[in-house]
């Protein structure tokens, strides 16, 4: 089985600062990955790279076995399979329905099928009947659920979530958490960044911990290894990263 994503020798800098430096990272299809690490550890940078929105200065990336060449045509096709939900997502001016339909229209959907998918997606996030609401009239939690519905509607192979539960009201958080937990069973690989250490206990995902832009372990647990990844290269890299973190510490 081809990995969903394989990153090798990736480096991303912002000015002189190295934001992310990964020897190797492999993400497998149908898994739920929980990305942890302190602020500035490179979580958002990694998510943006995986979303094919940020090009790393160095390194190789393969998506479902296909090398990412960062050429426009190829990027357009790959981006249709990967969707990123930003920490504070942007909703386009207009109705809830228009927002959820945006990506679907970009994929050529129209008519009844489009309307049905929009309605189903809104139902998934507990916002049935919100179609004609103006997005500017939504509460913060509702707006984020609309953004999640907009992403889930596309049935992406990979869904990247940047702190999807941060500052969310309890009702919204419960709905979103349940939906996220169900996504791998629907065939979507999920990578979700969080600061909440209890989230992994509830979602039982594979933990990817970043520290200073590098891959680290959490409590001696090596996520890709524990999730069935028998790739010795990945494990070796993680051990090296762990050693580096310990040395720096």
Partner 1 sequence: MGFIQESIRTSFSLIFSLDWEVFSAVWTSVGVAAGSIILAALFGIPLGLAIAIGDFPLKRVVITLLNTLMAMPTVVIGLVVYGIISRQGPLGGFGLLFTPMAMVIGQTVLAIPIVANYTLSSVKGADPRILPTALTLGASPLQSVIQLVHEIRFGIMAAIIAGFGRVISEVGVAMMLGGNIRGYTRTMTTAIALETSKGEFAFGLALGIILMIVALIINLLLNFMQQR
Chain residues in the site for partner 1 (CB under 8 A): 48, 51, 53, 72, 76, 79-80, 82-84, 86, 88-90, 92-93, 102-103, 106-107, 150-151, 154
The torsion angle over the Cα atoms of residues 52, 57, 59 and 63, rounded to 10 degrees, is 10
| Cβ at position 247, least distance to partner 1 in Å | 36
Q: Decide if 225 contacts 234 (C-beta within 8 A).
A: yes
| Cβ at position 202, least distance to partner 1 in Å | 26
| Cβ at position 23, least distance to partner 1 in Å | 26
- The residue among 75 and 244 lying less far from partner 1, judged by its C-beta, is 75
Tokens at 236, concatenated: 């070796």
Residue 226: other Cβ atoms inside 10 A: 10
- The residue among 35 and 51 lying less far from partner 1, judged by its C-beta, is 51
* Radius of gyration for the chain, computed over Cα atoms and rounded to the nearest angstrom: 18
Which positions ≥6 away from 20 have C-beta within 8 Å? 10, 11, 12, 42, 45, 46, 49, 56, 210, 213, 214
| Cβ at position 87, least distance to partner 1 in Å | 10
| Cβ at position 187, least distance to partner 1 in Å | 17
- The residue among 6 and 83 lying less far from partner 1, judged by its C-beta, is 83
How far apart, in whole angstroms, are the C-alpha atoms of residue 231 and residue 245? 22
How far apart, in whole angstroms, are the C-alpha atoms of residue 170 and residue 31? 25
How far apart, in whole angstroms, are the C-alpha atoms of residue 44 and residue 41? 8
Q: Decide if 22 contacts 7 (C-beta within 8 A).
A: yes
| Cβ at position 172, least distance to partner 1 in Å | 20
Note the Cα 36 to chain centre separation in Å: 12
- The residue among 153 and 207 lying less far from partner 1, judged by its C-beta, is 153
- The residue among 192 and 211 lying less far from partner 1, judged by its C-beta, is 192
- The residue among 99 and 234 lying less far from partner 1, judged by its C-beta, is 99
């Amino acid at each position: 089985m081809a990995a969903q994503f394989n990153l090798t020798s990736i480096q991303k800098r912002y000015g002189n600062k190295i934001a992310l430096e990964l020897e190797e990272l492999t993400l497998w299809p149908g898994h739920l990955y929980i990305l942890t690490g302190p602020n500035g550890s490179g979580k958002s940078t990694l998510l943006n790279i995986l979303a094919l929105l940020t090009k790393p200065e160095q390194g190789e990336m393969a998506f479902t076995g296909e090398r990412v060449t960062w050429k426009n045509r190829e990027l357009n096709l790959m981006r249709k399979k990967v969707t990123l939900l930003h920490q504070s997502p942007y909703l386009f001016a207009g109705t809830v329905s228009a927002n959820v339909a945006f990506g679907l229209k970009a994929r050529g959907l129209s008519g009844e099928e489009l309307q049905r998918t929009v309605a189903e997606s809104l139902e998934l996030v507990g916002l049935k009947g919100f179609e004609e609401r103006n997005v500017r009239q939504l509460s913060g939690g509702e707006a984020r659920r609309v953004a999640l519905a907009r992403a889930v509607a596309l049935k992406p192979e990979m869904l990247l979530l940047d702190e999807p539960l941060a500052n969310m009201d309890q009702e919204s958080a419960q709905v979103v958490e349940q939906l996220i937990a169900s996504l791998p069973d629907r065939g979507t690989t999920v990578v979700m960044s969080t600061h909440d250490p209890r989230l992994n206990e509830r979602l039982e995902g594979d933990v990817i911990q970043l520290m200073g832009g590098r891959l680290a372990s959490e409590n001696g647990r090596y996520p890709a290894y524990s999730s069935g990844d028998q790739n010795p290269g990945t494990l070796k890299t993680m051990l090296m990263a762990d050693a580096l973190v310990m040395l720096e510490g």
